[in-house]
Amino acid sequence: MTYKFIHKISQKYASKWLVLLCDLLIVALTFFLAYFIRFNFKLDFDINLVLNQIPFVLVAATICFIAVRSHKGVVRFTGYKDIINIIIGANILATILIVVTFFSRKFNYDQFFDIPGSIIYIHLLLNIAFIIGFKLVIKSLYNSLTNDFVPTKNVLIFGAGNSGMITYDAISKDPQNSYQVIGFIDDNESKVGKKINLLPVYSLKKITAELVSKNAIEEVIVSIQNIDPTRLLKITGYLFDLGLHVKIVPPVQNWIDGDLSIGQIKKVNIEDLLGRDPISIINPALTDEYENKVILITGAAGSIGSEICRKISKYNYKKLILVDNGESALYDLQQEFRQLGLENIEAIIADVRNECRIDQIFNLYKPKVVFHAAAYKHVPLMENNPFEAVSVNVVGTKNVVDISVKHSVDKFVLISTDKAVNPTNVMGATKRVAELYITCLKEKGKTKFITTRFGNVLGSNGSVIPLFKKQIAKGGPLTVTHKDITRYFMTIPEACQLVLEAAAMGNGGEIFVFDMGEPVKIFNLATNMIILSGLRYPEDIDIKITGLRPGEKIYEELLADGENTIKTYHDKIMIAKSRHIDVANVEIQINKLTTLNSLTQPLEIVSSIKQLIPEYKSNNSTYEVLDNRK
C-alpha cells in the first residue's frame, strides 16, 4: 500500500504556483530572520515595521521569481540551472529593495520602504541558502523514498568534461531513471582525484576489481564525444575484464532537439569500433528529388532495399512501390509501414527475371525513379550456381533496365558492390556485367543511369556480423577464412544514404564510390565482437581459421584497373571514371550471355563471363582452369 501511494505521488509534479508559494514563504521567513540576525539574535527591532514591509518584499519577490521562472523547475530534479535561476532571482530582489530604499530615503516617501542595507544583504544570503537548501532537501527526500522501490544501478561516467556533465544532468533529471552515478572517470590528470558535484573523479587505472566490488558498480557510460575507436576498444576491453557493462552517449547531432535523454544512451556496438568517423550526408536537394514522385525499389525486402524504403518514406513521395520475390520479408516490411500509418505504399510480389511481370508493374504505376537492389550476393553459393547468378544479377538487371528505358524513367540507380572490381568470383563478375550494361545505355533514351558501389554492409542479411553473433551465442568458435583477410565496411544507414545521394547528384553514367577509410581485418573484427560480448579471446571464445572459400580474395578494391576518381561536393563521395569500352561488342556479349539456359554447363557460363570481363580471374575456385587455358 505504501509503495503504491509513493509511486502514485512520484508520477505527479507539484504545481508551479505551489512552488512559488513555498519560495515566498521562505522569503518572508528569511526577511524576519535577517532582522533577528542583524540585532544580535534579539527582538530589539520594530516587529510591526517588519510586518508592514513583508507584503512589499513578497510582491517584489513574486515579480523576480516569475521573471526568472525559478518556480517552473521540477523540485525533485533540481539541478545546476535551477540553482543559477534562484541566485539570479534573489539578486534581482535585493537590487529592487536597494533601489526602492534609496528613493524612499531621498524623497522621504514612506518609512515602510526604508530597509537598512545590512538587512538587504543578509536577506539575500539567507534567501539563496534557504531556497536552494529547501529544494535540495526535497530532492534528497524524494530520492531516498523512491530509491527503496525503484531498482538502481551504480554507474560511472567516463568523461568529466561538458559532455559528462550533460550526461550526469540527463540521468539526474529523468523521472524513469534507474541509475545512481557514483563517480567519473577521466584521462585528464588535472581532474583525477578531485570532485565534481561531490562525486570523485578516477583515472581508468584506479577502476579495479576491488573498487567495483566495494561500490557495487555495474555499468560505465562513455560520454566523450568523437572518441577514437581504437581508444574506445581499449576502454571497453579493460572494463569488460572487470565484469562491467559499457554504454555510450551518441554524438551531439543525434540528440533530440539538442537535448540528451537516457533513452539515447546505448550499448557499444561494433559500428562504434570501425576505426573511422561515421559518414554523414545532409543534402536539402533530396527533398526536391523525391517530391511527388512515384518511386520503385526492387529487392525492397532485403537489408539495403528495406532501408532505402524507410529513408524515402520520410520524403513527400507520390507513391512507393516495393517489389520483391520474398513473400514473408515483404509482408513484414509492409506491416512495418502500416504500423507507422504511412500511405501510398504498394507491396508487390514479383521476380525481376519475369520480364512481362515487371513490364506490367511499370505500365500500371509508371515510376519515375527506380532503385535496383534485387540481386544474389552470397559469394560461395553463386560460385556453385553460376546460372542463377547470371539469371538474377545480369538478366534480372537487364530486364529492369530495358523496361525503365521503355517507360522513360527519369533515374535508375544500381546498387553494386566492391566485389565487382577486378572480380575473383562469379557473384562479383555478374555484378560487373550489370555495371557494364548500364554503361552501354549511357547515351540512349531519357533515363539517367547511376551506379553506387560500396563495400560490406554491417548487419545485412548473411553478413559476417550476424554470423559472429550466432557463433558467440553458441559458445564459439568464430570462423574466419584467413587471418589477413580485410574488408571495407559501412553501416546500412550509410550505404542507403549514399544511394539516395547518388540519385540526387547523378547526371547519368557515374559510378559513385565512398572513401570508406581503412579496410578492417576480419580477424580483428572477430576479436572485437568477442570483447563486446563481455568474453575473452581465446580463453572464453576461440577463433578458427577455415581457409579461403571458393572465389574469395583476401583484399577487396573499390576501383578497377584503369579507373580513377574525381571529387564531388562531399569529401567522402567520389566518382569512378571508367575506362572506355566497346559498347557494341559488350552488348553483343551480354545478349549472348543472357541466352544461356539452366542446362548449360557451369564452365561454359563462367567462360562466357570471363570473355566479357577480361580482368575476372578466379581465386580458389574450380574455374581457375579457364584462366590457365588462356
* Residues taking part in catalysis: 419
Report how far residue 299's alpha carbon sits from residue 353's, in angstroms, rounded to the nearest whole number.
Answer: 12
Which residue in the block uniquely carries the three cell numbers 544474389? 376
User: SS3 of 42, please?
Assistant: coil
Which residue in the block uniquely carries the three cell numbers 535577517? 34
Residues whose CB falls within 8 Å of the CB of residue 591, separated by 6 or more in sequence, listed in order: none
Taking the CA atoms of residue 260, residue 264, residue 268 and residue 274 in that order, the dihedral angle to the nearest 10 degrees is -80
The three cell numbers of residue 529 are: 565482437
Give the residue from 341, 161, 157 showing the smallest Cα distance to 235: 157
Q: Are 417 and 607 in contact (CB under 8 A)?
A: no
Measure Cα distances from 515 to 131, 134, 139, 199, 577 in Å.
56, 57, 51, 43, 15
Measure Cα distances from 243 to 124, 213, 227, 534 in Å.
50, 10, 22, 7
402 C-beta neighbours (distance < 10 Å), count:
16
**Range 482-512 burial, b when 16+ CB lie within 10 A, else e:** beebbbbbbbbbbbbbbbbbbbbbbeebbbb
Report how far residue 31's alpha carbon sits from residue 126's, in angstroms, rounded to the nearest whole number.
Answer: 8
Omega before residue 538 within 30° of 0, cis: yes
Give the residue from 283, 292, 334 showing the smallest Cα distance to 315: 292
DSSP string over 560-600: -TT-EEEE-SSTTEEEEEPPP--HHHHHHHHHHHHT--TTS
Task: Supply φ then ψ for residue 322, to 5 degrees.
Answer: -105, 115
Report how far residue 359's alpha carbon sits from residue 112's, in angstroms, rounded to the nearest whole number.
Answer: 92
Report how far residue 113's alpha carbon sits from residue 137's, in angstroms, rounded to the nearest whole number.
Answer: 33
Exposed/middle/buried for residue 355 (C-beta within 10 Å: 0-12, 13-18, 19+) = middle
β-sheet bridge partners, residue 158:
185, 222
Task: Supply φ then ψ for residue 511, to 5 degrees.
Answer: -115, 110
Q: Are 59 and 28 in contact (CB under 8 A)?
A: no
DSSP string over 260-293: --GGG-EE--GGGGSSSPPP----THHHHHTTT-
Distance separating the N- and C-terminal Cα atoms of the chain: 86
Let me know the angle formed at the C-alpha of 427 by 450 and 562, rounded to the nearest 5 degrees. Answer: 55
Give the residue from 208, 181, 216 showing the smallest Cα distance to 195: 181
Taking the CA atoms of residue 483, residue 555, residue 274 and residue 284 in that order, the dihedral angle to the nearest 10 degrees is -170
